[in-house]
Structures are given as C-alpha cells and as structure tokens.
Amino acid sequence: MGLYRLFVSHAHKDAKIAFAFIAAVEAAMKTDGRILCTSLRPPEYADPNVEDVSDLLHDHLNQSTCVVGILTPNSLESAWCLFELGGAWMLAKRTFPLLAGIKPDKLPAALKKKKAAREAACLTEPGEVSNVLADLRVELDWELKGSAQEEIEKLVAFVSGLPW
C-alpha cells in the first residue's frame, strides 16, 4: 500500500471545490494525510527536479485505492482529468464521480456504463455527498472521526452558488 489511498481528480480551475470536498472527508474520517490532490501542492509536485509529472500521477494513481472525480464543465475540458479518469478505469479503481454543473449523461465514456455512473453524486445534494463519504470510509477502511455536516453544507452552498 502506498503513500496515497484517495486520489482526487479535478481541474485546477475547480480547486476550491476539491478543497471543500477534502475538508468534508477530513472532518468525517481519520485520513492520516493519505489524500492526493495536486492543488494542495504536495512537495513532490513542486520539486523543480521532477522532469515528468505524468510519472508521479501514474505512480500515485496506481497506489490509490479509490479515485474521486470532481466532474464539472472545466474538468470535462481538461485532458489531464480525462487522462486520470481513464487511468482509473484501466486500473479498475473504485471511482466516485462527483458532479457539479453537469448531468450524469455527460460522464466520460469510460464511466457511463460502469457502477460509477449509477453512483454519481451531485455536489449540490447534501444527502448524496454524505452517501459518498460513507462509501469512501468503507472502501478505504478509514476510522470514523466525526460529523462532516458543517463541511458538507459549506461544500453544497459553494457549489450551488457557482454560475454554471
């Protein structure tokens, strides 16, 4: 098992959504910092000696147990996001699509007919976000830390206020 267990795929334009989602995860579970979100600037991604970030992404995706895809109009235009989700599909990683500003029929082709499509959660629905957190906790076998209700409400309010 590697350093990271949860890989959060997102467009950098959607970094605030990713931060809000991670805040909810960290409020709900003891993660021990084992979440990879490149917008949080892990040290290895800021290292000027790293020649190929794609190698890092490949390694971190490979060692992760689950992938959360924050899917927005921005991420659907991002080659990196589609690359990461394709990699998750290829590796048969448990993938949780979180939708903001798009409908389930806009999921990338690799996810449309998979279990992930049936489990797609809307980030403007607190109950759906709560269900994803519960499923992640079981899948990752992370210890329950507490209620994430406040963080979920902040996430939902933020995403609901975006002008998609």
What is the span of the domain harbouring residue 15? 6-160
Total number of domains constituting the chain:
1
Looking at residue 153, what DSSP letter applies? H
Higher pLDDT, 33 or 115: 33
Q: What is the pLDDT of residues 76-105, one digit of tens each?
A: 999 999 999 999 988 988 999 999 999 988
Q: Would you state the pLDDT for residue 77?
A: 96
Higher pLDDT, 5 or 45: 5
Q: What is the dihedral of CA 75, 76, 77, 79, to 10 degrees?
A: 80
Higher pLDDT, 1 or 88: 88
Q: Is residue 50 part of a domain?
A: yes
Q: Is residue 149 part of a domain?
A: yes
**CA angle centred on 102, ends 96 and 108, rounded to 5°:** 55
User: Looking at the chain, how many residues does it have?
Assistant: 164
Q: Would you state the pLDDT for residue 41?
A: 74
Q: What is the pLDDT of residues 48-60, one digit of tens each?
A: 666 677 888 888 8
pLDDT surpasses 90 at 113 = no
Longest dimension (CA), the chain: 43
Q: Would you state the pLDDT for residue 45?
A: 62
Whole-prediction pTM: 0.92
Average pLDDT, the chain: 90
Average pLDDT for 120-137: 96
Structure token digits, residue 99: 């939708």
Q: Would you state the pLDDT for residue 97?
A: 94
We report the CATH number of the domain holding residue 48 as 3.40.50.10140
Q: Is residue 1 part of a domain?
A: no
Query: Is residue 66 a contact partner of residue 139, using CB atoms and an 8 Å limit?
Result: yes
Query: Is residue 96 a contact partner of residue 68, using CB atoms and an 8 Å limit?
Result: yes
pLDDT surpasses 70 at 1 = no
pLDDT surpasses 70 at 130 = yes
